[in-house]
Chain A
């Protein structure tokens, strides 16, 4: 758990409750958490804080996840940033589009428990503790 201490995660999600529960869960796991309620503030935070991983919702007001991803990829740092898209089933065509843009991973929100999302993030960031558990998914 200590390993997560120096890891920064950015959660971009417009649903207040979901955003809050994910932010708190990652905080409890020892991550430094940044949260944003739309793509515009998410992009600003991402470029400022350079998080190790970004959890990005797709359907959002002001600026949606895909537009934020597009803008993020134009940035030197953002072009390589780790992104996991948070989706609903109905967004599948959008996810396919995002994959072209280089977002390598996605998950369907309601299919995933918070602890599994955390495991997936840890795995992505190469945090050893998660290795054994990752096969569950």
Chain B
């Protein structure tokens, strides 16, 4: 019994001993495992830290992959690490050999990677040009060992596959889940970091682009290799490149048609570090002054480094137009004065010879009278326009009946209208007050001008209609006209009239040639005598009449405007407020 007990104890002891031995081995294994785990973690952290540090300076994905592959040997065994990176026209294939392998080994990796990328992007890359970069151990053809272990990790930036990272070995069965997972994790972390940074850059770029886009000057920015980084809508429009999302420098060179050497000037500007200014250049019917300047970095370590160049297209067409308008205006005035003065002088020379008959002499006197009157009118108009321009125009309002003023003007124009076979009608609202204060002489001048224009631009058998309506604040002018039995030829402009305060509204409608929408805007501005498209029928004039009419009406605190359809006729209207406020008149 005792023996049995001893045996049992011994057996137990043995069992315990065995168990504890087994247990301690288990512990050891666990420990090793944990150590291994920790080592991996440490590696993971170290590489992520390194990545974090470097990514701060570089957004270049390739650099980041280089960092990853450069440190892989710390935790994984391999013959070769390689990556493929997609560029627009080529694939970069970089291999780092840890051990010597044969050419066939590398070609094998290359094939597998191409297949992998093709599968990832469901696109065939077999025909794409591959730029190969080899580093590390040398190739030894005698080593005919094939690829036995191999795994791919896709490189993804902003949800887009940009390449693939590959680890390969000549030994069999090397890579397990764990290694792959770690590498996968690192690559993913790096991708995310780059993606986030790219997003920040993209947002900043967007902000910059939105700002540049809103600039009315054309702006083109290039990098050091003359790649167009930014081309704003104004720049695209100037060179008819609106349809190109990302125009290249060649698009700009082509569309500049040799008028401006954009590439040469960028080069010169960057080389000399100087801002270059072009003379005026005519591009597609518009004048531009082009500035080319180098773009330098003002940040961090790259300070003063030249990043590229900027081209600014300044549209000076408007300035040129104004300049030309002034010149045209001056020469027109000179012409308008010189011709009658010359004629008068020659008439006097002729009469002085005593060889002219009495009849002819009388006729010449009439001509001199007519010419000098028209010259005087012109000089007066110039003075009026100058006063209006310098806001020194004054009116002398007195109570008067607009109906009488209009009728007086109609009878004044009747003879010339009959001569031109044009009929003038006048319609009056019966509620028109008979004693509104306005400057009779000046309002007559406005009516003269509007009537003269209507007659001038009407064809024979045409009609000219004069209307005067009493308008009450807040009332619809069309309704008011209807009630007064008057058809008002205003549609778009009626709202403007309706919005006026209590006033007299006067309209002159003709069935003449009409005015194009574009020209309507310019009608009341100085220097604009409208040139009709049919140059043979240019009707001469100084174009000052409507400018002065506007000045007179505005001096009455009224408004003046026009509505016209080409070929159908025009309606000019103006208002005289019933009560003039704070007028500095006598």
Interface, chain A (partner B; CB < 8 A): 15-18, 20-22, 24-25, 28, 59, 61-64, 88-90, 109-110, 113-115
> Which residues of A lie under 8 Å from residue B536 when comparing CB positions?
61-64
Closest CB-CB distance, B330 to chain A, in whole Å?
9
> Which residues of B lie under 8 Å from residue A88 when comparing CB positions?
334-335, 338-339
Whether A28 and B353, one on each chain, are in contact in the complex, defined by CB atoms closer than 8 angstroms, is: yes
Whether A90 and B331, one on each chain, are in contact in the complex, defined by CB atoms closer than 8 angstroms, is: yes
* CA of A73 to CA of B174, assembled, Å: 98
Whether B538 and A17, one on each chain, are in contact in the complex, defined by CB atoms closer than 8 angstroms, is: no
Give the top 10 A-B pairs by smallest Cβ distance, nearest first: A17-B343, A17-B367, A110-B342, A90-B331, A18-B343, A21-B346, A28-B355, A21-B347, A114-B346, A15-B339
7 residue pairs from A and B, CB less than 8 Å apart: A17-B343, A20-B364, A21-B364, A61-B538, A61-B540, A88-B339, A114-B349
Whether B538 and A21, one on each chain, are in contact in the complex, defined by CB atoms closer than 8 angstroms, is: no
Closest CB-CB distance, A74 to chain B, in whole Å?
18
B339 touches which one: A18, A22, A113, A115 (CB < 8 A)? Answer: A18
Closest CB-CB distance, B335 to chain A, in whole Å?
6
A18 touches which one: B346, B356, B540 (CB < 8 A)? Answer: B346
B341 touches which one: A62, A63, A64, A110 (CB < 8 A)? Answer: A110
* CA of A110 to CA of B340, assembled, Å: 10
* CA of A29 to CA of B521, assembled, Å: 53
Whether B334 and A90, one on each chain, are in contact in the complex, defined by CB atoms closer than 8 angstroms, is: yes
A15, A21, A61, A114 — most chain B CB neighbours (10 Å): A21
> Which residues of B lie under 8 Å from residue A18 when comparing CB positions?
339, 342-343, 346
* CA of A35 to CA of B122, assembled, Å: 86
Whether A20 and B367, one on each chain, are in contact in the complex, defined by CB atoms closer than 8 angstroms, is: yes
* CA of A109 to CA of B488, assembled, Å: 49
> Which residues of A lie under 8 Å from residue B368 when comparing CB positions?
17
Closest CB-CB distance, A3 to chain B, in whole Å?
18
A109 touches which one: B342, B363, B540 (CB < 8 A)? Answer: B342
Closest CB-CB distance, B527 to chain A, in whole Å?
15
Closest CB-CB distance, A14 to chain B, in whole Å?
9
> Which residues of A lie under 8 Å from residue B371 when comparing CB positions?
17
Other than the given A17-B367, A110-B341, 7 more pairs (CB < 8 A) read: A17-B340, A21-B364, A25-B346, A28-B355, A61-B537, A61-B538, A88-B338
B340 touches which one: A15, A24, A61 (CB < 8 A)? Answer: A15
Whether B367 and A16, one on each chain, are in contact in the complex, defined by CB atoms closer than 8 angstroms, is: yes
> Which residues of A lie under 8 Å from residue B360 when comparing CB positions?
24
Whether A17 and B344, one on each chain, are in contact in the complex, defined by CB atoms closer than 8 angstroms, is: yes
Whether B335 and A114, one on each chain, are in contact in the complex, defined by CB atoms closer than 8 angstroms, is: no
Known A16-B367, A61-B536, A90-B334; contact A21-B343, beta-carbon cutoff 8 A: yes
Please tell me if B45 contacts chain A, counting CB pairs below 8 Å: no
B347 touches which one: A17, A62, A109 (CB < 8 A)? Answer: A17
Known A24-B356, A90-B331; contact A115-B349, beta-carbon cutoff 8 A: yes
Please tell me if B452 contacts chain A, counting CB pairs below 8 Å: no
Q: Which residue of B lies closest to A40 (CB)?
A: B536
